[in-house]
Amino acid sequence: MKKTLVYLAALLLTALSCGTKDPGAPAPYGTLPTKGQIDWQRQELIMFYHFGQATFSGWDGENPSCNGKPWTAELLLQNYAPATIDADQWVKTAADNGFKEVIITAKHHDGFCLWDNPESTVDIANEKCKNHTDVVKAVSDACAKYGVNLGIYLSPWDRMIEAAGYDIDTYEVMYKNALKDLMTKYGKVTEIWFDGNHAGAFNWPAVNEVVFGINPDCVIFSNGGPGCRWVGNEQGEAGETNWSTLDAVGRKLTPGHMEGDYKTFLGSGDEGASRWVPAESDFSIQQIGDPNGWFYGADDPRKTASDLMDIYYKSVGRNSIFLMNVPPSDKGVIDAKEVAIMEEFTRMRTAVFGTNLADGATVTATNVRGSKYAPANLLDGDYDSYFATEDDVTDVDIDFTLDGEKTFNRVMLQEYIPLGQRVKAFSIAVKFDGVWTEWGSGETTTIGHKRIILGETVTTDAVKICINESNACPVLNGFGLFNDTVSGL
C-alpha cells in the first residue's frame, strides 16, 4: 500500500513538472532542404561570369553563325584572344560586394572550353589558342583566396558537338566525363548549372549522379532542379508567393524541356510538393539582346544600382537568389563601369540594411512554445535560434514594442527552413495613437528563407506581425525593420 502511494505521488510530480519542461523542437514539416541547399540559399548573392570567345567576337553560340561565318573549331580558337585574364580581380570584386559564390561558364553554347577538357580539343590547351590560362582554375584559386564558393556552368547545348555530328548517347558519355573532370580538378564545387537552352535528351538522373557521386551537397541547377530551379524569367524576378517546393509529377522539367505555364509555376513553386527545389533568379547587369548580352559588350546599356535594388527586393526579398551576370571584358577584367555600379549597389544595401530598426524591441506573442523558443529569438541574429508556437497553433500575433519611435518602409521576415517552409498567409500592422492599422498592401502569402515587404514610410513605436495561416506551427528566425531612402523605389 505504502509503495503504491509513493508510486502515485511520483507519477503526480512527473505530470506536474511536465508542464514546465521544454516541449522540444517542432517536428520538421513536409519536404526539407538538404544541408547543401540550406547553405546555398543563405548565400543570397551569386555572381555569374560569362566569358569565352564571345567576349572577343561579340557573338555567342546562341546565334546560328558568328557574324555570318559558320561555327567551326578554327573560328572559335581564332576568336578567343585575351591578352590577360585577371580572375583575381573578378572574384575580389564579387567578395568586396558581398557575393558568396561565383559561377564560371566553363563551356557555353559555342563549345569553346575554358579548361583543358579531356573530351574536346576546342579548348584553352589547343596549340592554336592564343591564351592557355586555365580560366576555371584561375577562378577557383581566387575563390580559395577570397573565401568565395565556386559554381560551374557547363552548357549541354554545344555547336561543336552539332558540327561533329555526335549522336546523343556518345555526347552524353563525353558530357559526363567533362563534368567529372570539372568536379574533381578544382576543389569543392558548390553549384553546377545545366542550362536548359537546347539541352539534349540526356539521361539526366544519370548525369546528376556524376555530380552527387563526387559532392552529394552540390546544388544542381536546371529548369526543374534537383538542387534549385530556374525562376522562369531572366529579369531576376521571383513570384511574391514563392514555395521552395516543386511538383515534378506529370511534368517533364529536365534541361531543354519546359512545359505548360512554366513562367508562373517556376516563379511560385508548388505548396506542399514532394521535392525541395528553390528558385534561383538570374539576370545580367548588361542588357540582354542580340547578338548577345550575357557576354561583355562595351556599349551595352547597363542596369543602375537602383535597378539592382529592385531586383534584390524581387529575388532575395521573395525567397530566391540574386544571380547577377557580370561579364568580364575583353581586357580580361571586370570593367570599371560594372565595378562602379556594384559599389553603388553595395552602398545602397548597406545604407538600408546596415541598421535593423527593430533591434532593442521588446517582443511578445499570443502563443509561445516555451522559453527556449521565445519571440525575442527573432532579433538575436543567431540563425539557429528561432521563435515557435505550440504544435497545434498555426495562427499567432507577434508584437514588437520598439525602442522608441522608428521610421521605416521595409519589413523583413525569415522562416527557419531547416524545419521546412510553413507560413502561407501573414499581414503586418503598425500602431498610430493606440490604434492598429494594416501596413503594406494587405495580407500576403509565403515567407521562406527571407521575405521583404515594401510599404509606405511610417513612424511608430509598435509593429505587429500576424501569421494568419500556416501548414504547421510557425518557426521564424529573423525579423527586421529598415528604411530605404536611397534607392528611389
Judged by CB under 6 A, does residue 294 bind ligand FUL? Answer: yes
Residue nearest to ligand FUL (CB): 197
- How far lies 68's CA from each of 59, 64, 216, 250, 304, in Å? 10, 8, 43, 41, 33
Judged by CB under 6 A, does residue 158 bind ligand FUL? Answer: no
Pick 255 or 420: Cβ nearer ligand FUL: 255
The site that binds ligand FUL (CB under 6 A) totals a number of residues, namely: 6
Judged by CB under 6 A, does residue 310 bind ligand FUL? Answer: no
Q: Is the Cβ–Cβ distance between 55 and 296 less than 8 Å?
A: yes
- Amino acid, single-letter form, for residue 77: L
- Amino acid, single-letter form, for residue 317: G
Q: How far is the CB of 488 from ligand FUL (least distance, A)?
A: 28
Pick 154 or 430: Cβ nearer ligand FUL: 154
How many angstroms separate the CA atoms of 438 and 430, rounded? Answer: 6
Pick 151 or 474: Cβ nearer ligand FUL: 151
Q: How far is the CB of 357 from ligand FUL (least distance, A)?
A: 37
**If DSSP codes are grouped into helix, strand and coil, which group holds residue 69?**
strand
Judged by CB under 6 A, does residue 44 bind ligand FUL? Answer: no
Pick 182 or 465: Cβ nearer ligand FUL: 182
Per CB under 6 A, the list member of 40, 52, 58, 62 interacting with ligand FUL is: 62
Task: Determine how many CB atoms are found less than 10 A away from the CB of residue 126.
Answer: 18
C-alpha cell at 88: 583575381
Pick 197 or 306: Cβ nearer ligand FUL: 197
Q: How far is the CB of 292 from ligand FUL (least distance, A)?
A: 7
> How deeply is 459 buried, as exposed, middle or buried, from its count of CB atoms within 10 A (0-12, 13-18, 19+)?
exposed
Q: Is the Cβ–Cβ distance between 236 and 281 less than 8 Å?
A: yes
How many angstroms separate the CA atoms of 452 and 439, rounded? Answer: 13
Task: Determine how many CB atoms are found less than 10 A away from the CB of residue 454.
Answer: 16
Pick 338 or 484: Cβ nearer ligand FUL: 338
Pick 117 or 155: Cβ nearer ligand FUL: 155
Pick 60 or 310: Cβ nearer ligand FUL: 60
Bridge-based pairing of strands 45-49 and 321-325 is parallel
Dump strand ranges (E) for 115-194: 149-154, 189-193
Sign of CA dihedral 48, 53, 55, 57: negative
The CA R_g of the chain, rounded to the nearest whole Å, is: 25
Q: How far is the CB of 110 from ligand FUL (least distance, A)?
A: 10
Binding mask 162-201 for ligand FUL (x = CB under 6 A): ---------------------------------x-x----
Per CB under 6 A, the list member of 134, 282, 330, 335 interacting with ligand FUL is: 282
Q: How far is the CB of 62 from ligand FUL (least distance, A)?
A: 5
Residues that bind ligand FUL (CB under 6 A): 60, 62, 195, 197, 282, 294
